[in-house]
Amino acid sequence: MDRRTFIKGVAGAGSLAMSGGLAMPALAQGAAKTLRFVPQANLANFDPIWGTQYVVRNASALVWDMLYGLDSSGTPQRQMVESEEVSADGLTWTFKLRPGLKFHDGEKVLAKDVVASLTRWSARDPMGIMIKATQKELVAVDDTTFRWVLSKPFPKMKLALGKTNAPIAFIMPERIAQTDPFKQITEYVGSGPTKFMKGEWVPGAKAVFERFADYVPRSEAPSWLSGGKKMLVDRIEWVVMPDPATAAAALQNGEVDWWEQPLTDLVPLLKKSKNLKVDIGDPLGNIGSFRMNHIQPPFNNPKVRQAVLMALSQEDYMRAVAGDDEKLWKIVPGFFTPGTSLYTEVGGEVLKSGKGNLEAAKKLLKESGYNNEPVVCVVAQDQPITKAQGDVTVDLLKKLGMNVDFVATDWGSVGSRRALKTPPTQGGWSMFHTWHAGADCTNPAAYPAIRANGDKAWFGWPESPAVETEIVSWFDAKNVEEEKAAIGKLNKAAIENVTYAPTGFFLSYTAWRDSVSGITQGPLPFFWGVSKSA
Same domain assignment for residues 334 and 429: yes
Total number of domains constituting the chain: 2
In a domain, 269, yes or no: no
Q: Which of 211, 234, 257 is the last residue of a domain?
A: 234
Q: Residue 427 and residue 455: Cα distance in Å, rounded?
A: 19
In percent, how much of the chain has pLDDT > 90? 91
Q: Which of the pair, 32 or 410, is modelled with greater confidence? A: 410
Angstrom distance (rounded) from CA 189 to CA 172:
7
Whether 313 and 462 map to the same domain: the answer is: yes
Let me know if residue 73 belongs to a domain. yes
**pLDDT tens-digit series, residues 196-211:** 999 999 999 999 999 9
Average pLDDT over residues 55-81: 97
**Residue 456: other Cβ atoms inside 10 A:** 16
Same domain, 293 and 183: no
The secondary structure of residue 22, as a DSSP letter, is: S
99: number of Cβ within 10 Å: 9
Distance CA 30, CA 40 (A): 23
273-292 in b/e form (b: 16+ CB < 10 A) is: beebbbeebbebbbbbbbbb
* Same domain (yes/no): 43, 113: yes
Residue 58 lies in a domain: yes
CATH number of the domain encompassing residue 311 = 3.10.105.10
Tell me, yes or no, whether 221 and 329 share the same domain.
no
Average predicted confidence (pLDDT) for the chain: 93
pLDDT tens-digit profile of 110-137? Answer: 999 999 999 999 999 999 999 999 999 9
> Final residue of a domain: which of 234, 254, 269?
234
pLDDT > 90? residue 12: no
Domain-embedded: residue 249: no
pLDDT at 10: 37
Given a contact cutoff of 8 angstroms between Cβ atoms, the answer to whether 386 and 414 are in contact is yes
- pLDDT at residue 23 greater than cutoff 90: no
**Which of 196, 214, 234 marks a domain boundary?**
234
Q: Looking at residue 2, what is its pLDDT?
A: 40
The mean pLDDT value for 1-16 works out to 37
Q: Does residue 202 share a domain with residue 340? A: no
**Which DSSP string do the residues of 130-190 spell out, in sequence order?**
HHHHTEEEEEESSSSEEEEEESS--TTHHHHHH-SSSSP-B---HHHHTS-TTS--S----
In a domain, 7, yes or no: no
Specify the pLDDT at position 534.
Answer: 76
In a domain, 168, yes or no: yes
195 and 65 in a common domain: yes
Q: What is the pTM of this model?
A: 0.88
Asked if 430 contacts 374 with a C-beta cutoff of 8 angstroms, the reply is yes
Which CATH number is 128's domain given? Answer: 3.40.190.10
In a domain, 428, yes or no: yes
- In this structure, are residues 154 and 134 in contact, taking their beta carbons and an 8 Å threshold? yes
In this structure, the answer to whether residues 471 and 359 fall within a common structural domain is yes
**Do 126 and 45 fall within a single domain?**
yes
Range of the domain at 214: 31-234
Taking the CB of residue 341, how many other CB atoms lie within 10 A of it?
12
Look at residue 240 and tell me if it is in a domain: no
Q: What is the pLDDT of residue 31?
A: 47
pLDDT class for 32, splitting at 50, 70, 90? low
From the list 524, 389, 459, the residue with the least C-alpha distance to 37 is: 524
For residues 295 and 177, membership in a common domain is answered with: no
pLDDT band at 24 (very low <50, low <70, confident <90, very high): very low
pLDDT digits (tens, 9 = 90+) for 490-528: 999 999 999 999 999 999 999 999 999 999 999 999 999
Residue 256 pLDDT exceeds 80:
yes
**In terms of domains, do 226 and 347 share one?**
no
Instruction: State pLDDT tens for residues 100-110.
Output: 999 999 999 99
pLDDT higher than threshold 60 for residue 220: yes
**Segment 150-179 mean pLDDT:** 96
Residue 219 sits at the vertex; the CA angle it makes with 217 and 220, to the nearest 5 degrees, is 110
What is the rounded average pLDDT of the residues 455-483?
95
pLDDT reported for residue 3: 43
Residue 363 shares a structural domain with residue 476? yes
Listing DSSP states for 258-312 in one string gives: EESS--GGGHHHHHT-TTEEEEES-TT-EEEEEEE-TTSTTTTSHHHHHHHHHH-
Question: Out of 20-34, 90-104, 337-351, 465-479, which region has the weakest mean confidence (pLDDT)?
Answer: 20-34
